[in-house]
Amino acid sequence: MLPPRRPKWYSPPGSARTAFGGAYEPVDGVAKRHGRAGPVGRMMERTTSGTGGAETIRAAARLSIAPMMDWTDRHCRYLHRQITARALLYTEMVTAPAVIHGDRDRLLGFDAAEHPVALQLGGSDPAELADATRIAGDYGYDEINLNVGCPSDRVQSGCFGAVLMERSGLVADCVAAMIAAAPVEVTVKCRIGVDDQVPEAVLPAFLETVSAAGVSRFAIHARKAWLQGLSPKENRDIPPLDYPLVVAMKQAFPGLHISVNGGITTLDQAEAFLADGLDGVMIGRAAYHEPYDALVDADRRIFGGALAPDRFEVVERMRPYIASHLETGGRLHQVTRHMLGLFHGQPGARGWRRVLSERANAPGAGLDVIDAALAPMRDLAA
């Protein structure tokens, strides 16, 4: 592999590299999945009101929950919103052609309680992305984000996602078209580079070019994507994280709002990044697998707000939402599959997961399955 070339601005004063040491070490093993995702739940609702201007969203972006395909659907986001009232939530990536030609309400509908919520689009055709942005704008998203980080084969074949790190001019054209069509801020989520690119050279050039086209907020997954030879899952773990490079980008581009993403599992890590000058922290897998542990104290520590309600109260808050999902023909499992990690680490957590996994998928499964899963948890907590 090439030795990294370090431009002059790379080493922040005061030997920041050593200061980054252990506190930011990624914790392995969070990437295990709780089974394959089923079809995205029914999407019936349109909302037309955002939560307000760019400043509100920027404040929310101090902590965001990453876009994750098959995972951060509307039900997952609704659950996260019961734990944090303030963090910015991202949708799964939706491709621009799907928005234009697909079932828009299913792909774009969300619950008003999810605000502030950002839609992530995938694509590389400026006109298509502009159309998709215009359509999505009607749904009331607070932000539209362009995916320049996803390495899956499907995404590569359509020439979008991380492969666009090699085509910053095209990304600039895409975001310019999106900005012209968007009623809200357009942002970019990217990698530090792909394949043999030298991140210390490529990333600042990318930020320069794309910000010149009008984007001033970026979420940077602090590792390269290897487009050949690694699976999407491996691409989230194997290429090494380079947090100092992301911190250096903030120092090199102080006018940009920069969030760091990748391997962050605790609020301690998040606070350390914010203290180092980054504007935001984006958490992905940890927020999915252990939503309560990851987010319980987020509003208080990151936003100066309140502690989350306890786990049982979170379940209570999900009940009316689930009831209305069931009433409109949805399946219990579509919501509860995101709730499996809610009691992570608590006595009885395995039983909670087992009851939901075994029974929520049955035809006609209803709220009594949640009662059955919850009763032993209450006994154990008493």
Ligand X SMILES: Cc1cc2nc3c(=O)[nH]c(=O)nc-3n(C[C@H](O)[C@H](O)[C@H](O)COP(=O)(O)O)c2cc1C
Among 41, 263, 291, 341, binds ligand X (CB under 6 A): 263
Cβ neighbours, 10 Å, residue 194:
26
Which CB sits closer to ligand X, 67 or 341? 67
Query: Is 298 near ligand X (CB under 6 A)?
Result: no
Look up tokens 């029974």; give the residue: 359
Residue 371: CB minimum distance to ligand X, A: 30
Helix/strand/coil for 264:
coil
E strand map for 241-338: 257-261, 280-283
Which CB sits closer to ligand X, 84 or 120? 120
Residue 54, burial from CB neighbour count under 10 angstroms (0-12, 13-18, 19+): middle
Residue 294: CB minimum distance to ligand X, A: 9
| Residues between 335 and 354 with contacts to ligand X, criterion CB under 6 A | none
Among 64, 84, 261, 269, binds ligand X (CB under 6 A): 261
Report H helices in 339-381: 349-359, 367-381
Query: Is 182 near ligand X (CB under 6 A)?
Result: no
Give catalytic residue positions: 150
Query: Is 189 near ligand X (CB under 6 A)?
Result: yes
Which CB sits closer to ligand X, 139 or 370? 139
Which CB sits closer to ligand X, 66 or 107? 66
Residue (of 254, 200, 273, 205) closest to 25 by Cα position: 273
Which CB sits closer to ligand X, 236 or 325? 236
Residue 283: CB minimum distance to ligand X, A: 5
The DSSP result for 95-136, as a single string, is: EHHHHHHS-HHHHH---GGG-SEEEEEE---HHHHHHHHHHH
d(CA 92, CA 98): 13
Among 63, 83, 89, 93, binds ligand X (CB under 6 A): 93
Query: Is 124 near ligand X (CB under 6 A)?
Result: no
Distances (CA, A) of 193 to 22, 65, 166, 270, 377: 24, 22, 8, 23, 45
Query: Is 262 near ligand X (CB under 6 A)?
Result: yes
Residue 33: CB minimum distance to ligand X, A: 7
Query: Is 116 near ligand X (CB under 6 A)?
Result: no
Among 74, 77, 80, 221, binds ligand X (CB under 6 A): 221
Which CB sits closer to ligand X, 131 or 237? 237
| Residues between 133 and 162 with contacts to ligand X, criterion CB under 6 A | 147, 149-150
With CB atoms as reference, the residue minimizing the distance to ligand X is 284
Residue (of 261, 343, 127, 318) closest to 135 by Cα position: 127
Contact residues for 99 (Cβ-Cβ < 8 A; gap 6+): 107, 108, 121, 131, 132, 135, 136
Residue 366: CB minimum distance to ligand X, A: 28
| Residues between 267 and 286 with contacts to ligand X, criterion CB under 6 A | 283-286
For residue 59, the Cα-to-chain-centroid distance in whole angstroms is 16
Query: Is 264 near ligand X (CB under 6 A)?
Result: yes
- Dihedral over Cα of 311, 317, 321, 327: its sign: positive
Which CB sits closer to ligand X, 140 or 263? 263
Helix then strand count (H, E) for the chain reads 18, 8
Among 58, 77, 224, 236, binds ligand X (CB under 6 A): 236
What is the identity of the amino acid at 42? R
| Residues between 41 and 80 with contacts to ligand X, criterion CB under 6 A | 66-71
Query: Is 120 near ligand X (CB under 6 A)?
Result: yes
Q: How many residues bind ligand X (CB under 6 A)?
A: 23
Q: Kindly list the residues in this chain that would bind ligand X in the complex (CB under 6 A).
A: 66-71, 92-93, 120, 147, 149-150, 189, 221, 236, 261-264, 283-286
